[in-house]
Structure 1
Amino acid sequence: MRSAGRRLGFALKQGLQPATEAGPSTSYQPAFGQSVQLWRGVRLAAGHSALTFTRGPGIGLGRQADRALRRETESFMRKWRSFKTVALGSGAGAISSGQGLLTALLPPALLWLLMVLPASYRVMAFKLMGMAPPASVHAQSYSGSTPSLTSPSSLSILLSRLLQALGLTALASSIRDEILLAARAAYLWCLFLPAVLSAPIVVALNGPGRETWLRLVQWTLEHAGPAFIKWGQWASTRPDLFPEDLCSKLEQLQTSAPGHSPAYTVVAVERAFSAPISELFDTFEEQPLASGSIAQVHVAALSAHGAAMVGNGAEHGALVAVKVRHPGVTDVMHRDFILMQRAAAICSRLPALASLRLEESIRQFGGPLREQLDLSVEASHLSRFNANFRAWSNVRFPVPLFPLVTADVLVESFEEGDLISRYVRQPHRHNALLAQAGVDVFLNMMLKDNFIHADLHPGNIVVKQPEPPSPAVARLAALLPPTWRLRSWLVERQPQIVLLDTGMIVTLSEEDQSSLLGFFRALTRMDGRKLAAEIVKMSVDGRCKDPAIFAAELESMFATMDREYLRIESQAVMRDIIERMRQHEVTLRSSVSTVVVTSLVLEGWSSKLDPDVRILETMRDMLADSLVERLGSAVDRVMASGALLE
């Protein structure tokens, strides 16, 4: 074996010749003859009896053989690191393209080499890298058994170390990422193809098969990944943009997105808190209560040990919500946004689609969404929201239970109630109160706190029924006349709205906050020119194709509009404004755009709860500068309600 090592070392020395000063700027310059000589040396060494020895307990393990193999291997590695790569057998010379091709093919070649090496050589390779070999590989080297050719743990570790030693880790990672992106793109293409191809047929038939197609669209988005599920959740709140039946079908994505297995949940919780799940919780429901695009929620009861960890009055047996992030969601989300950005870049080069500014749209859609991937960030948001609304009796947020908070798992107080979508679908005596509470909460976030929940779709809002009055209060109310307001105040409590999923928030800069207030003030006053000026202030780099024409169009739009139309059809007015912004290539900054879209989503479900509650009308009252304006808005509300005619 020592002579084989010397022959292999001699062949390598003859095959690796440094580049001369007159040669290319690369670090080596192997000639074709030298490559052939090197290849022959490798074949000669490989054919020597040292590589065909009979495996036995003591073969190749003597100190002398170890030292010889170590010297030859270390000499080879020094030359390899010095010259980076060698164009074996290609005769391509020291040109960049040849190096790139060889470097791309090197990882699979190294993997093949590791798989065919005897176990004793693999043990020596691990030792040379300064690593302890896996027990299975080490045992094989001393046994008479044939080593397994598929040892994923040992091969992957050794291959990664070899790539690191050769300086090819970044390249190998890039190649791997591109392969995964290509596979993901192929999967999405096959997934969306049936829905896309069948869409024209469904539209042409105008009825037959539409329900089946809607189920296909929902199924496609469910299996496309978190980014597409989140888009479906957003689309379900926009009946102004999409058909009503499609919105109803996509509403199911708000609470019934695909989940992961209970086994993974247990592993994730125990790994996050370094404790058995039975030690933290007395009971743990394996069936998730709800599953979203980023995580799913389980209901559990705190154990005595878990309550002691939390402290702050946490009770043994208290119900908690355990939010567990889906496995691999970060990588999938990252790849999906890369694919979206590349598709948008290609589409933006087409003249018919250039005006849509798809690249900017994807960037604005993806920015806030990435914040939801870290559940510890959501916990900090919950703490701040609880502090901001501590004086509100009709608004609640879950309370994060520190230290049971990590990036993968979040334990918070369990808030029981019904989704607000139940109240949207059917009349209820509390609908008006709930609608006004939602509008008030959003405006308080935007105008006072500057800390805005940016994901206020109905799936993230729960209505919690009030606690019944105590027996003493009930007896006191029974003594009062039925017409007294004090009696109704004592007996009838207002329901609370609970806001969930606070991972995505927006905080505006002082400039953006001032411009946004100016935007809504100009909108409620129907001042087209002022509105255009505020929109341009909030745009990216202040870009507008023709500011004068843009302002004139908005002024003309409001000149033919009465205030009652603005009050009732505020969503239609906002759509017209956004369409004119698109025509004049005005792109709002990401944070401002998120707030505007959130206000439209809020307007959508609050107006369904109570058509008389309008966000622009409430904002008009809050932003009124004078008593005359406040009286004017009050008169408008009275006239609109028809109270003077009764």
Structure 2
Amino acid sequence: MRSSQSKATLRPTVLVLLTLLTAALATAPGGFESSSRELVTAASANDRRARIGYVRSSLCDRFHYVTKGKRAKDFGRWVKTQGGEPRIFSMHGGDVNFDAGDLEKLELENDLVFVKRRKDDPFLSDRMNLNFHHDSGRSLSFYDGDTRPLIEKPATPFELYLRAVKLSLVFGPLMSTAFIATISKKFRNDIWYKWLARCLASSGAAFIKWGQWAATRSDMFSQELCDALSSLHSSAPSHSWNFTQTQVESSLDIPEGGLLEVFDTFDPEPIASGSIAQVHKARLHNGGLVAVKVRHPSVARLIDMDFRLMEMLGSVVESIPGLKWLNVKDSVSQFSHTMAAQAHLNVEAHHLEVLNHNFGSWKNVQFPKPFFASSAMIMETFETGRVCTDVLDEFDEEASSRGMPGKGHDLIPLNMAESLVTNGVSMYLKMLLVDNVMHADLHPGNIMIDVMQSKNQDIEDAKIRITLVDAGMVAQLTEEESSTFIGLLTTIGEGNGEAAAEFALQFSIDNDLSEEEKKLFKEDMRVLFDKCCKGYGTGVDVGEVLRGVLGLIRDHHVRIDSNYATLVVNVLCVESLAKRVCPTYNALDASKPLLQQYRKLCFDDDGYTPRKNGSYHKKIKKMMAFVLNRDKKSQDAAFFKNIAKQRRRDQLLGA
């Protein structure tokens, strides 16, 4: 007891002595001030090391957690809390000031549900958030030092005005000749459309992307305009290494100059670059090879400004008599909904996780696996392989060098051809029939081929793995949208033009055609089908039929909503790839068992009205997945077995 009292008596005395000592040091020339600076510097250096160490170890832990499949299992548990179907979300109308990880600005279909985490789970409990931030916006192990934030603020009215002035100088001469383009078809087709493409190419990412997207919308624009815009390619310049370093450090919230301490290696030269972002190859300290996608400087801000201006321009153009044929306002509105998410890379990261979940049981089809994301950066697993278009171009070139122009498909290894064609069609059908989530950009440039060939193994025996990249644009389909589009595909399989017209008229709730106009549309569809669509087993060219359908939709002013346009464009992409790789493979005939089964089970007796029963549709989806894996696989296997026999026969005859 006495000892405790003595200690209590000494404490005030010690404090008084420390105070006097501090005062004495403070009066000594440079004594306390110098020591204080050293202590602050040491503390700052310790904080810096602690933050870099935390980020470095967290990224390694996340990479290991993802590659071991644990993250996928956790994501699957989270999906169950969302009703069993993972939802994507839209950034349409979202604020560009998004780098702080504020997910509340997103238009979520469901409230966020927090799930119980494993002890070793290095991710946040919010399954949609791949950042290091808490909901408060403050980082774990927060470093309060010399970071370089790169939050893009919304444009001011003055900046918007300056942007408008610049664009008016670019498009002014074009608009001044719009009247001539209206009255002269030759001037419009031969000169004006090409001029428009050049103006778009020089106006930034939003205009380039709009032009590329519009080139696929032959339901809205003339074929001549689509052809002119199809030559529109972004030069996709890469930004500087200094900006990449600054952006990565800002996104990871690490001190300036800390990037090369967090990564073992980081290639300063990008391996790919697009109009939104560029990709670098890097290696973590645990040896993990990763791809780091970094958004270009101010691209989100410019896209936000340009969308506002494009909407204003669309309103002006549509108010001018004679220029409504351009459909500018309507196309910009649809495109902005499709495009807006691409400038926010954490949205793409969530799309990748959803697609990985949906295709988790497919051994030879995959998507990159993200493990960190902010609005300006994604860090994901580095997927090996080559871009599909590059591989196919090489076979075409080899065929030409052998004196076999146009016969590149005959040189493609059969296992590669089978993998590309069957998986391409099956993936589309699964997204349409089962998932109601559609990758909105299925062109071959977004498909990578990886030949997993052992040292002494023949390429014909190697396993082929397909990886889909660039999930910035993903469409969430409603049951009605998927059922209506499946209805159109089944009528193509039946060769029934009038029935196809009935489904096409359901592609938008805004169609206000008169009964006479609808009758004329159905008659023209019947004529089109009589000419080029006899149904299953007749070698129907689906691409030709759909392009004809889109032309009639445009000519008869039948409006179709953006998701339907995405479905049509993807069908054209998949069918075009199949035709290039294996011309004798008919995607429509291959889809017959699934389309017929779905139409039979999911439509009322009239054959045109989808049944509206959520629980019923869930059961049907399970059945469709079973039919996809059993009936279509066996049908595809038999088809390519016959192709193999034919190749062996041709080789014997050639010998």
Report the TM-score range of the alignment, normalised by the length of the smaller protein.
Answer: 0.5 to 0.7
Match of 2:487 among 515, 518, 533: 518
Q: Is structure 2 residue 441 aligned with structure 1 residue 441?
A: no
Q: 1:532 to 1:248 in 2, by over 3 A?
A: closer
Q: Confirm or deny: 8 A CA contact 1:355 1:582 kept in the other structure.
A: no
Q: Is structure 2 residue 501 aligned with structure 1 residue 532?
A: yes
Partner of residue 436, structure 2? 450
Matched position secondary structure for 1:258:
coil
CA separation in 2, counterparts of 1:387 and 1:602?
A: 22
Match of 1:551 among 500, 513, 522: 522
CA separation in 2, counterparts of 1:623 and 1:273?
A: 47
Matched position secondary structure for 1:563:
coil
**Is the radius of gyration larger for structure 1 or structure 2?**
1
Q: 1:606 to 1:382 in 2, by over 3 A?
A: same
- The offset of 1:223, in angstroms, is 3.9
Partner of residue 460, structure 1? 446
- The offset of 1:466, in angstroms, is 1.4
Q: Confirm or deny: 8 A CA contact 2:214 2:226 kept in the other structure.
A: no
Q: Confirm or deny: 8 A CA contact 1:222 1:257 kept in the other structure.
A: no
Match of 1:335 among 305, 330, 335: 305
- The offset of 1:369, in angstroms, is 0.8
Q: 1:491 to 1:525 in 2, by over 3 A?
A: closer
Matched position secondary structure for 1:613:
coil
- The offset of 1:587, in angstroms, is 0.9
Alignment of 1:36-185 (within 5 A): 175-185=157-167
CA separation in 2, counterparts of 1:222 and 1:299?
A: 28
Match of 1:360 among 330, 333, 337: 330
Q: Is structure 2 residue 251 aligned with structure 1 residue 267?
A: no
Q: 1:226 to 1:451 in 2, by over 3 A?
A: same
Matched position secondary structure for 1:336:
helix
CA-to-partner distance for each residue in 1:92-114, whole Å, 9 max, x for gaps?
A: xxxxxxxxxxxxxxxxxxxxxxx
CA-to-partner distance for each residue in 1:7-62, whole Å, 9 max, x for gaps?
A: xxxxxxxxxxxxxxxxxxxxxxxxxxxxxxxxxxxxxxxxxxxxxxxxxxxxxxxx
Q: 1:458 to 1:235 in 2, by over 3 A?
A: farther
Match of 2:354 among 366, 380, 384: 384
- The offset of 1:538, in angstroms, is 1.9
* Structure 1 residue runs without a partner (length 5+): 1-169, 304-315, 475-487
Q: 1:237 to 1:288 in 2, by over 3 A?
A: farther
Q: 1:495 to 1:233 in 2, by over 3 A?
A: farther
Letter in 1 for 2:470: D
Structure with greater contact order relative to length (CA < 8 Å, sep ≥ 6): 2
Q: Confirm or deny: 8 A CA contact 1:508 1:592 kept in the other structure.
A: no
CA separation in 1, counterparts of 2:562 and 2:513?
A: 16
CA separation in 1, counterparts of 2:440 and 2:163?
A: 29
Kindly tell me the number of residue pairs found equivalent between the two proteins. Answer: 427
Q: Confirm or deny: 8 A CA contact 1:260 1:327 kept in the other structure.
A: yes
CA separation in 1, counterparts of 2:350 and 2:271?
A: 23
Alignment of 1:295-374 (within 5 A): 295-303=277-285, 316-374=286-344
Partner of residue 417, structure 1? 385
- The offset of 1:294, in angstroms, is 1.0
Q: Confirm or deny: 8 A CA contact 2:579 2:585 kept in the other structure.
A: yes
- The offset of 1:453, in angstroms, is 0.4
Match of 2:276 among 286, 289, 294: 294
Letter in 1 for 2:480: E
- The offset of 1:437, in angstroms, is 1.9
Letter in 2 for 1:288: P
- The offset of 1:615, in angstroms, is 3.3
- The offset of 1:236, in angstroms, is 8.0
CA separation in 2, counterparts of 1:605 and 1:589?
A: 25
Q: 1:495 to 1:358 in 2, by over 3 A?
A: same
CA-to-partner distance for each residue in 1:323-377, whole Å, 9 max, x for gaps?
A: 0111111121122223332333333344544345332222122211111111111
Partner of residue 368, structure 2? 398
* Structure 2 residue runs without a partner (length 5+): 1-153, 397-407, 601-630, 651-655
Partner of residue 278, structure 1? 260
- The offset of 1:611, in angstroms, is 1.9
TM-score, length of structure 1 as denominator length: 0.58
Q: 1:342 to 1:626 in 2, by over 3 A?
A: closer
TM-score, length of structure 2 as denominator length: 0.57
Q: Is structure 2 residue 208 aligned with structure 1 residue 229?
A: yes
Matched position secondary structure for 1:189:
helix
Partner of residue 481, structure 1? none
- The offset of 1:263, in angstroms, is 0.7
Provide the aligned C-alpha RMSD in A. Answer: 4.3
Letter in 1 for 2:373: V
Q: Confirm or deny: 8 A CA contact 2:300 2:344 kept in the other structure.
A: no
CA separation in 2, counterparts of 1:182 and 1:627?
A: 50
Partner of residue 555, structure 2? 583
More helix by share: 1
Partner of residue 573, structure 1? 545
CA separation in 2, counterparts of 1:505 and 1:464?
A: 24
CA separation in 1, counterparts of 2:595 and 2:269?
A: 47
Q: Confirm or deny: 8 A CA contact 1:581 1:587 kept in the other structure.
A: yes
Q: Confirm or deny: 8 A CA contact 1:538 1:588 kept in the other structure.
A: yes
Q: Confirm or deny: 8 A CA contact 2:291 2:382 kept in the other structure.
A: yes
CA separation in 1, counterparts of 2:173 and 2:265?
A: 39
- The offset of 1:387, in angstroms, is 1.4
Q: 1:249 to 1:549 in 2, by over 3 A?
A: closer
Q: Is structure 2 residue 609 aligned with structure 1 residue 609?
A: no
CA separation in 2, counterparts of 1:194 and 1:423?
A: 45
CA separation in 2, counterparts of 1:282 and 1:262?
A: 17
Letter in 2 for 1:466: M
- The offset of 1:522, in angstroms, is 1.3
Alignment of 1:604-643 (within 5 A): 604-625=576-597
CA separation in 2, counterparts of 1:336 and 1:246?
A: 22
